[in-house]
Structure 1
Amino acid sequence: MPAEAQKTVKTRQMFYIPGYDPVPPRRYRELYRAESADQAAISNYAIDLRPKAKDAQNFGWGVHADIDGTQTQTQVEILFWADIVQTSMNQNIPRTYILLFRTAWEYIGSGALFGLMKLRIGPILAALYPVAMLLLQLLVAVCLGFSAFYLGKTYIHWGIGALAGIALFCALLIYFKSKDAQLFAYYLMHDYGYSAKFKGQNPPELEARMAVFTDRIASAMQSDVDEVLVVGHSSGAHLAVSILADLIRQGRVPANGPTLSLLTLGQVIPMVSFLRNADRLRGDLHFLCQSDALAWVDVSAPGDGATFALCDPAAVSGVAPETGHKHPLILSAAFSQTLSEAKQKELGRRFFRLHFQYLCAFDLPGDYDYFKVTAGPQTLSDRFAHRGHSPSRITRPVNPHTSMSA
C-alpha cells in the first residue's frame, strides 16, 4: 500500500480475548505494563499506561505512545470469560478422568487426531501430555496402593491391607492434583476437554458471552476512533473469529466507521475446527477468510509447541474457497531470529512462557512488535502491507470434517 494511502492512527480501541485462562484480567495489564516498558527501551520509543476511560465497559487500561514521531491513544479492554473457565475447571478427580477418556475418544474416534497429526507435532504432543501425565499418576497410585494392600494383608490382616491400599491410592491422587500448578496436567485436560465435550460446538454459556462481546465491539465500531483492533490469543483466537463473523454478518460494521482489524496470536483453531460438530466455527472461518470488512493477521512461531504454527486456519480446516481466499496473512514471529541466544536460553523449556511470548518484548525485534501493533500509529493492515505470507505457511486441507453452518 502506498504510504500516502495509509491511515494515521491517533485513537484506537483494542479488545483482547484471552485463551482458556482462569486468572483475573489484571494479570494482562501488569504483563502489558512490564513488557511494553522493556520493548520501548529496546526499540527507542515511549509508551506508558494510564487509567481506563470512564465509559469503558470492561476491565482495561489506557495506553499513551509516542512511536515513529506520532502520539497515539489506545484504550484496551479485556473481554473476560475466565469465570466460565473457572467453572469448567471445578471438577473432582473422578470426573476429570472421565473427561480424559471422553476427550481421547472424541479426537481418536472421529479421526480428528489423525488429521491434526499431519500439521504440527508440537501441539499434538502438548495435547497428549495431560493424558499421559494423568494416566501415569493413576498408574503410580494403583501400584503403590496395591503394594500397601499386599503388605498389610500379608503381615497384619487383609482388612487393614485394603484400608491402607485405598487410603494410599486416594492420598496419592489428591497429592498429584495439589501439585498441578507445577504439572499443568489437570489444567490442560480441562482445556482440551472443554471443546471436546460438545464435539466442537460452543457451550451455551460461552455463546451467550460471545454475543455480549459482539455487542461491545459493535458499539466501538460506532465511535470516532481510527481503528478497532481485536486480539485473540490461543483459544481466544477461535472465539475472535466467530465473534467478528457474527459482527459482519449482522451488518454492524459501518462503511465509514473505524478500520476493523483482527490479530490472532498462537492460535490453536484446528484443535476445535477438526471436531465433528464444529460446523459453526468452520462456517465462520469460511466466511471471514473472504471478507472485505476487516484485515486479519495471524502470528505464530514454530518455537511455540502449543500452537499450530504457520497453519492457515481456514485452509487446513478444509473450508477455504477456491477463489476469494483473502485472510489471514500468515506471519512467523521467528523466535530463533527475534530472541537472542541468551533470551532463548533463559526461556528454555518454559512451555507456557513461550506461548505468551507474542504478548512480550523481543530483544531482537523484527517486523512483529506487539506494542507497535496495539499502540502505534499504523493500522494492522498498513503495518504489514509490505509483507507476504511466511514461506513455511501450511495450507493443505487435512480435516476429516468439513461440514459448515450457514
Structure 2
Amino acid sequence: MAEPSITKRLVYHVGGYDPTEPRAVHQRFARELSRFRTTWSVTATLSEPVVQDDTASWQVATWGPNWRVETEYRLLRWDDVIKQAEHRPMWRRIPLALLAFADFVASGALWGYFRFNWRYAGFFLYPFVLFAMLAALAFVTGRLAGDAAGSVLVGWGVGLAAFALLMVWPARQFYLPLLFDDWIFSRGYIRGHEKLLEARLDRVARDLVTSARDSDVDEILVIGHSLGAVLAVDLVDRALPLDPALGKGRARLALASVGSSLLKIGLHGGATRFRAAVGRVASASQVFWAEYQALTDVMNFYKTNPVTAMGLAVPGRPVVRVARIRRMVLPARYRRMRRNFFKVHCQFVAGNDQRASYDYFMLLCGPLSVERQVSYADGAVSAINDDGALRESADVEPLVFEGTVEMSR
C-alpha cells in the first residue's frame, strides 16, 4: 500500500511576538530551508516574497525521487503592531508593564503558570524581577551619592540618571523592553484593545475561506508559534463560521500550535472570549489539531494539554506531542544554543540538522499530510528513504491519539 501523498499545500503561518520584517523573515526561511534540503536529501526552490499589508507570501517547491509538493506560504503580518509598541518611551512602557503584571497576578494566571509549568512562571517573572533589581541598583546608587554629597537633591538626581542609563543598558541587553511590550500586548489582547489586529484577523480569515474554495490544494495548514499560536486559534475560529464546509472537502484543514503560549492567555481569568474560541476550534471535527511541546523550551507548557488545562471538556483535543530539540540539531550546535532560551524556542520554526520526529519544514513542505506525520511516532523519518524518496509503506503503524504521546526518535 503506497503512502498517501500531498501535492499542494496552503500554509498560514502566525509567528510569535517578533518585530522582524517580512523580507528578513523570508531570508531566514531561505537559510533554514537549505538545512531541510540537506537533512532530508530533497530538492527545493523558493520564490521572492510578495509583501502586502496583511500578509507576506512566497512559493516553495520541494521534491524527491517520487514526489513533489508545491506550497504557498502566507505569513500573517503583525510586525507593524509590534514595531508600533517599540516606539513607546520607557516612561510610558513601565507603568503599562506593571499594570499588566498586576492584572496577570490578580487574574490567577501566575498561579496557573506555577501549577502547570513552574518554568513558564519563571519566564513571566523574569522581566519584572530584572526591572526590580535595576530599580534597586539605581536607588542604592542615588542613596550613596546623596550621602556622599550631603544632599538629598543630588541623591535623587544621581539615582534618576542611573535609572535612565540602566533602562538603556543593560535593560535592552536583556530584552526588557521587548518582554514588557509582550506582556502589555497580551493584556491588551485579553481585554479586547487590539482592534487593528482583530480587523486583520477577520480579513485573513476571509482570505483563508476564499482560498479554500477557489484553490485545488490538498491541505490547508494554519501553524502558530509561541504567542502566534493564540492568534492561529483565533484565526481558525473566525474562519469556521464563514464556511461550515471548511475542511470537509478535498482541502483538509490542519492546525498546529508549536512551542505555544496558549495557556499564557488561556489561564487568565479574564480570557473568557479566547477560551470560548479554543473550545469551538477543539470541538470542530473537520479541524485536525496538533500541539507540539518541548521540555528544553521554557516558553511553552511541556506535557500539558492546553484544552484540558483551560477546563474545557473536549476529550482528545488537541493531539499533544513531545518534540526533542536535542535530537533535531547537531550536538555541537545544541551545546551552543541550549542556554539561549530564545534560540531553543525558535527551533520549532527552524530547519533541523538531523532527521527527527518533529520537523517544521517537513510539516510545511513534505509529501505526508500533517495528520499522517503526527500519527507516526517518528514523524516522517520512517516514511522517507535516505535518498529522499517516499517509501511505498511506512515502517511503523499509526498511533492511537490518546493525549500526550512521547516521540520515539
Query: Same fold, TM exceeding 0.5?
Result: yes
- 1:32-47 correspondence to structure 2 within 5 Å: 32-47=29-44
**More displaced, 251-260 or 220-229?**
251-260
Q: Are residue 236 (structure 1) and residue 228 (structure 2) matched?
A: yes
Q: 1:135 to 1:392 in 2, by over 3 A?
A: farther
Partners of 2:188 and 2:135 in 1: how far apart? Answer: 22
* Deviation of the 1:188 alpha carbon: 0.9
Find 1:360's aligned residue among 350, 368, 388. Answer: 350
SS in structure 2 opposite 1:356? helix
2:308 aligns with 315
Aligned to 1:245: 237
Q: Aligned partner of 1:341: which letter?
A: P
Write the distance in 2 (CA, Å) between the matches of 1:53 and 1:150.
61
After TM superposition, list the pairs within 5 Å mapping 1:12-91 onto structure 2: 12-52=9-49, 58-67=55-64, 69-91=66-88
User: Counterpart in 1 of 2:120?
Assistant: 123
Gaps spanning 5+ residues in structure 1: where?
394-406
- Tell me if 1:346 matches 2:329: no
Aligned position for 1:208: 199
Q: How far did 1:374 drift?
A: 0.2
Whether 2:139 is the aligned partner of 1:148: answer no
Write the deviation string for residues 199-244 of structure 1: whole angstroms up to 9, x where unpaired. Answer: 5546222211211221221122122222211111101101111110
The answer as to 2:174 corresponding to 1:183 is yes
Equivalent position amino acid for 2:238 in 1: D
Q: What amino acid is aligned across from residue 364 of structure 1 in structure 2?
A: Q
Relative distance call for 1:199 and 1:64 in structure 2 (3 A) is closer
1:372 and 2:362 equivalent? yes
Q: How many Å apart are 1:33 and its aligned residue? A: 1.1
Render the CA deviation track for 1:258-302: whole Å, top value 9, x for unaligned: 111111111011111111221111011111112112211111201
Q: Which of 256, 279, 287 does residue 263 from structure 1 map onto?
A: 256
In the aligned structure 2, how far is the partner of 1:228 from the partner of 1:263?
A: 11
SS in 1 for 2:55: coil
SS for the counterpart of 1:367 is coil
RMSD: 2.5
Which residue of the partner structure matches residue 397 of structure 1? none
3-state SS of paired residue (1:292)? coil
SS of the counterpart of 1:289?
helix
| Most deviating of 170-179 and 277-286 | 170-179
Q: Tell me the distance in 2 between the aligned counterparts of 1:195 and 1:170.
A: 30
Q: CA deviation at 1:310?
A: 2.8
- Distance in 1 between the 2:53 and 2:100 partners? 38
Report the equivalent of 1:400: none
Distance 1:179 1:27 in 2: 26
Counterpart Cα distance in 2 of 1:290 and 1:64: 33
Is 2:13–2:222's contact at 8 Å kept on the other side of the alignment? Answer: yes
Once the two structures are superposed, what CA deviation does each residue of 1:155-201 show, in whole Å capped at 9, x if it has no partner?
A: xxx3xx62564255235424433544420112112212222246554
Alignment partners' CA distance in 2, 1:254 and 1:267: 23
Is this contact kept in 2: 1:260–1:295, CA < 8 A? yes
Determine if contact 1:138/1:173 at 8 Å carries over to the other structure. no
Q: 1:12 to 1:57 in 2, by over 3 A?
A: farther
In structure 1, distance between residues paired with 2:211 and 2:193: 25
Return the alpha-carbon distance in structure 2 between the equivalents of residues 39 and 176 of structure 1.
40
**Helix, strand or coil at the partner of 1:219:** helix
Secondary structure of the structure 1 residue equivalent to 2:270: coil
CA distance in 1, matches of 2:205, 2:99: 31
**Maintained 8 Å contact 1:199/1:277:** yes
Tell me, yes or no, if the aligned pair for 1:46 and 1:66 is still in contact at 8 Å.
Answer: yes
In the alignment, residue 301 of structure 1 is paired with which amino acid? A
In structure 1, C-alpha distance between the alignment counterparts of 2:189 and 2:294, rounded to whole Å: 29
The alpha carbon displacement at 1:383 in A equals 2.1
> Which deviates the most, 256-265 or 200-209?
200-209
**Counterpart of 1:139?**
136
Percent of aligned positions that are identical: 21
Per the alignment, do residues 263 and 174 of structure 1 end up closer, same or farther by CA in structure 2, a change over 3 Å counting? same
What residue number does 2:326 align with?
Answer: 336
The corresponding residue for 1:273 is: 266
In 2, Cα distance between equivalents of 1:142 and 1:20: 32
